[in-house]
Amino acid sequence: MSLFSSKGQKHIDGHKELTKHEEIISLVSGNNAPKKVYFPTMAPNGKPITFDVKEGDKVKVGTKIGLRSDFYVPIYSSVSGKVVANENVFSPQVGRAIPHVVIENDGKYDEEKPLKTVTLKDSAEKIRDAIKEAGLVGMGGAGFPTYIKYNGSSEIETLLVNGIECEPYLTTDFIVMQQRVDELLLGCEYLMKASGAKEAIIAIKVHKDEVKEAVLAKLADHPNIRLVETKDAYPMGWERVLIRNIFHKEYKTLPSEVKVAVNNATTVIELGRTLSTGKTVATRLVTVSGNGIVNPHNVLIPVGTLSNELIKVCGGVVEGDINFIPGGPMCSKAVSFDTFPMLMQMGSITVLKYCQATADACLRCGKCTAHCPAYLQPVALKEAAEKRDVEGMKKYDILSCIECGMCSYICPSKIDVTETIKKGKAIVKLSMPKK
């Protein structure tokens, strides 16, 4: 009910048809296969990643080459070949050029000895360890280490598999979920076992009939897994909104408060594959789409491929000014370089023709407040942020903002509300005492 609170969701044009039924271009082998793949030496949060390979080392697909310093996330090579010199490449996560470990692809894809596999009969403890060792991060874009959600510290009743994909243009989950249903269901079973959940819910948006049919065809063998369809709205894929829609519950910080664990569908699929075969994530599907791309397609790449190679196989970009976005058009920030490595969590590149929006005066219509999925009042936050009023911003709970872009999207005056709030958030964070 949204009589006085925000609706929290809104249907937006998904433009999914651009790539939904297009053929998948593979960059894994063949002439277009990348000559080099890149692995950043810094995690998205700026913490260093230590690499234990040096120049000249030979690696295979699945060779453990590095380890994140803050969380236990092993980095595995996605190609076989030789480690060449470190190279400074732009990293959209960090926002500047940082050193990357570069592996020259020999094109053979020799495979390393697989990791230890686990079966559903193994103990939860063992499965958790296997998840940790797999080096999986959330492949929906956040890149948050998966194993942390399943450390067994909180009681989980339901596993929620997020196949919503609410950002416009993105279709990788849509395709992968159709093609790899077995691994998806296997991944669910593993995670249910690991978390102690009694039930798993696979959530997709309505009108994803292909996925629905593919999954339903195999659900008979999995009595504890069911498929739920949600409204086609943004940001349905945000776990808070998804849980609100499916369970009608609210929580403060983590979904585990309402006994739910949420994972992205592609992550669950890769988890099913890695745990059952011992093969680590080496490739991923990337949507290259938008009206700035000549031939939008989904592209299968070895992790670490440079983005410009994806653009090349999709016919390049159109003439004129563009927004080059490593991610979807709602949340991700456009970058000024078209060359950066595609990491495991990066599922899309969106290139849009630049269109100049002239901002009108704020007419205080309150549409942003009426649609904020975090139930905030963006217009009030914006005013406080413009005044750099830290106390005011805190009162309006600015740190709850998830920067989903809804307020800017909905604004009839085309004001960059989200951007102003982002800046306000930075000011508030700076003003807070360091932990």
Partner 1 sequence: MAFRTNPAPYQRSKNSTLKIMLILLAALVVVWVSGIIYYFNLSDKINEYIELENLELDIEEQLPYVDYGLKAILNVIVAVVTSIVCDVIHTLCVHKTHKNISLGKDIIHTIVHNYSYITGIIFALTLPVFTSYYVIIVGSVFATLVCKNVFGGFGKNIFNPAIMARIFVGLCFGSALATPEIIQTVSAAELAGEAATAVGVDAATGSTITSVYNNSQLWIYTTRPVGAAVIENSLIEGFTLENILFGEYVGALGETFTVLILGLGIVLSVLGVINWRTPAFYLGTVALSAVVIATLTGNSVLAYLVASIGLGGVAFGAVFMLTDPVTGPTSSLGKSICAIFAGFMTVLIRIKGGYPEGAMFSIALANLISPAIDAAIKGKTNRHYPVKVAGLGLGVVIAAICLGFMASGQVTHIGVVNKDGLNYAQDAQLQSAVALNENERYCKYSDDVEVGYTFSNESTLDSKYLVKNGDEVVAYAYVIDYEKAMGSKASISAEGYPIPLNVVGLVVIDKQDKVQGVGFIDEKMAGTDTSYYGKFVSEQVVGNGQAAVDALVCGKATTASKSTYSPQIIKDLVNKAYQLYALESK
**Where do contacts with partner 1 occur on this chain (CB under 8 A)?**
1-6, 12-13, 168, 250, 317, 319-325, 329-338, 350, 352, 354, 357, 360-367, 369-370, 372, 374-377, 379-380, 395-397, 400, 403, 405, 408-414, 416, 418-419, 422
244 CB neighbour count, 10 Å cutoff: 19
Q: Count Cα neighbours of 290 within 13 Å in the Cβ-side half-sphere.
A: 27
Closest approach of Cβ 381 to partner 1, in Å? 11
- Cβ 202 vs Cβ 184: under 8 Å: yes
CB-wise, 60 or 423, nearer to partner 1? Answer: 423
DSSP string, 294-306: SS-EEEEEETT-B
For residue 235, whether the previous peptide bond is cis, meaning omega lies within 30 degrees of 0, is yes
User: Which 3 state secondary structure label does DSSP give 242?
Assistant: helix
CA distances to 134, 213, 292 from 272, in Å:
11, 20, 35
Q: Which residues of 6-21 are buried (b: 16+ CB within 10 A; e: fewer)?
A: bbbbbebebbbebbbe
CB-wise, 72 or 354, nearer to partner 1? Answer: 354
What is the rounded distance in angstroms from the CA atom of residue 160 to the CA atom of residue 171? 19
Closest approach of Cβ 128 to partner 1, in Å? 35
CB-wise, 94 or 124, nearer to partner 1? Answer: 94
Closest approach of Cβ 420 to partner 1, in Å? 9
CB-wise, 297 or 371, nearer to partner 1? Answer: 371
CB-wise, 290 or 302, nearer to partner 1? Answer: 290
Closest approach of Cβ 198 to partner 1, in Å? 29
Closest approach of Cβ 28 to partner 1, in Å? 28
Closest approach of Cβ 41 to partner 1, in Å? 24
Structure tokens at 345: 């969590």
CB-wise, 11 or 58, nearer to partner 1? Answer: 11
Structure tokens at 60: 């295979």
User: Which 3 state secondary structure label does DSSP give 133?
Assistant: helix
CB-wise, 64 or 394, nearer to partner 1? Answer: 394
Phi, psi of 213 (to 5 degrees): -65, -45
Closest approach of Cβ 336 to partner 1, in Å? 4
